[in-house]
C-alpha cells in the first residue's frame, strides 16, 4: 500500500539540533509518511533491520508499521495478533521479538509478520510478583549465542533466560532496591561480550549482570530510565531514554527530563539530548521516550508513549492532536 500524505506536524524555521560535540543530532521534520487517515498511537518500541527498514511497534490499529529510512511507508502487520505493544528487539537474521505486555507473551516473528515462536501463554499471566513468567513482560534481548532474555516487568521483578528455542534456562531478581532487585524492570539489552544491561526504571538506575545473572555494577544519575539501546562494538556506548517526573510534587522541576542520555560502558555520561525544560510537543523536546533504535548511518529513531503519559506530564491541559499523529515517533539525524 502506498503512502499518500505525510502526517501533520509542527513546523519550525530552523531544524532543532540536540546534543554536543560528536554527538549532535538534527530533528527531522515530517519523517514518517503514513497512508491517508492512518496514525500511530504510542510507539512503544522501534527496531531497524539489516536493510535499514524501520519497524514501529505501536498501540494503534496497525501494531507493526514498516518504513524505509527516508520515512516512506512499506507495509504493516500484526493486526489482530497483539494486545498492547511494549518491546521490540531484532536478531542478526532480522527476526523480530515482539513483547506484548497486554497478553503476557513474547513472539518471534519474521519481517513480514509470520509468528515463528511464542513464549508465554496468551492472556494467562503468572501470579503477581511470583517470579514465574510472565506478568506484563516488557522487553527482550539476545545473547551472542542467541539465548533470549526477557524483562518481566510490571507485575514481576525479574529477568528470565531462555534457549533460542524458547525453553526456560533460569530466572533472577525480586522486588526491592538492593543489587539484583528491581522496581519496574522495564528494558533490557546485551553487548557483544554477553553482558546484560537492565533498565531498573523506578530505582533510577541501570543494573549490569553477566550472562548468568551475576550482579556486576550499576549506573546511577539517571531519571526513570525507560528506553535502552546498545550501539555495539568492542567499546560500546549506550543511549538511555529517561522519562520525566511522574509525581505531582516534582512535575514542574526542571532538568529531570524527559531526555536521551548517551553513556559509555561504565555508565559515564558523554552527551545528553534535551530535557532541560521538561516535556513538550515543541521540536527538540520529548514527551516519553520509550523505545530506541539506530540505523546504519547512526540516525536515532525514538518511539514515545505520549498518549499514555500525557496526563502524567500535563494533567490540566487537553492533549493536542499531533501527539497521536506525529509526536509518538521522532527521527534524529546525526550531524
The answer, yes or no, to whether residue 84 has pLDDT greater than 80, is yes
The answer, yes or no, to whether residue 11 has pLDDT greater than 90, is no
In this structure, what are the phi and psi dihedrals at residue 310, rounded to the nearest 5 degrees? -60, -50
Q: What is the pLDDT of residues 280-294, one digit of tens each?
A: 988 899 999 999 999
Question: Which residue segments constitute the domains of the chain, with CATH numbers given?
Answer: 17-334 (2.120.10.30)
Strands 148-152 and 137-142: antiparallel
Q: CB atoms < 10 A from the CB of 143, how many?
A: 18
In sequence order, the 6+-apart residues with CB closer than 8 A to the CB of 13 are none
| Average pLDDT estimate for 253-281 | 95
Strands 205-209 and 168-172: unpaired
What percent of the chain clears pLDDT 90, i.e. is strictly above it?
Answer: 89
Q: For residue 100, give the C-alpha cell.
A: 506484548
Identify the CA nearest to 134 among candidates 157, 117, 109, 167: 157
pLDDT value at position 8? 39
Q: What is the pLDDT of residues 165-184, one digit of tens each?
A: 999 999 999 999 999 999 99
Cβ burial, residue 44 (10 Å; 0-12/13-18/19+): buried
The answer, yes or no, to whether residue 12 has pLDDT greater than 90, is no
State the Cα–Cα distance between residues 167 and 164, nearest whole angstrom: 8
pLDDT value at position 30? 85
Within 13 A of 260's CA, how many CA atoms are on the CB side? Answer: 30
The answer, yes or no, to whether residue 5 has pLDDT greater than 60, is no
pLDDT value at position 321? 80
Amino acid at each position: 500500500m502506498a503512502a499518500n500524505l505525510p502526517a501533520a506536524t509542527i513546523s519550525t524555521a530552523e531544524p532543532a539540533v540536540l546534543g554536543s560535540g560528536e554527538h549532535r543530532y538534527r530533528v527531522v521534520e515530517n519523517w514518517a509518511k503514513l497512508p491517508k487517515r492512518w496514525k500511530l498511537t504510542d510507539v512503544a518500541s522501534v527496531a531497524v533491520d539489516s536493510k535499514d527498514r524501520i519497524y514501529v511497534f505501536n498501540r494503534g490499529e496497525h501494531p507493526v508499521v514498516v518504513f524505509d529510512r527516508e520515512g516512506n511507508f512499506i507495509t504493516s502487520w500484526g493486526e489482530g495478533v497483539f494486545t498492547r505493544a511494549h518491546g521490540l528487539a531484532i536478531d542478526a537474521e532480522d527476526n523480530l521479538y515482539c513483547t506484548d505486555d497486554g497478553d503476557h507473551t513474547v513472539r518471534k516473528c519474521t519481517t513480514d509478520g509470520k509468528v515463528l515462536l511464542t513464549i508465554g501463554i496468551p492472556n494467562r499471566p503468572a501470579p503477581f510478583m511470583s517470579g514465574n513468567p510472565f506478568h506484563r513482560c516488557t522487553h527482550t534481548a539476545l545473547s551472542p549465542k542467541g539465548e533470549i532474555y526477557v524483562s518481566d516487568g510490571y507485575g514481576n521483578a525479574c529477568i528470565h533466560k531462555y534457549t533460542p528455542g524458547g525453553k526456560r534456562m533460569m530466572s533472577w531478581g525480586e522486588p526491592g532496591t538492593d543489587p539484583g532487585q528491581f522496581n519496574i524492570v522495564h528494558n533490557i539489552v546485551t553487548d557483544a561480550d554477553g553482558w546484560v544491561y537492565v533498565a531498573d526504571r523506578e530505582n533510577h538506575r541501570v543494573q549490569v549482570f553477566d550472562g548468568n545473572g551475576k550482579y556486576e555494577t550499576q549506573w546511577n544519575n539517571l531519571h526513570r530510565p525507560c528506553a535502552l539501546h546498545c550501539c555495539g562494538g568492542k567499546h560500546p556506548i549506550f543511549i538511555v531514554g529517561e522519562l520525566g517526573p511522574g509525581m505531582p510534587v516534582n512535575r514542574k522541576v526542571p532538568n529531570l527530563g524527559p531526555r536521551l542520555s548517551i553513556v559509555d560502558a561504565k555508565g559515564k555520561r558523554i552527551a545528553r539530548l534535551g530535557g532541560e525544560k521538561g516535556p513538550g510537543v515543541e521540536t527538540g523536546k520529548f514527551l516519553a521516550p520509550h523505545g530506541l533504535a539506530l540505523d546504519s548511518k547512526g540516525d536515532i529513531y525514538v518511539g514515545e508513549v505520549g498518549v499514555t503519559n500525557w496526563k502524567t506530564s500535563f494533567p490540566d491541559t487537553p492533549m493536542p492532536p499531533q501527539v497521536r499523529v506525529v509526536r509518538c515517533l521522532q527521527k534524529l539525524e546525526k550531524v
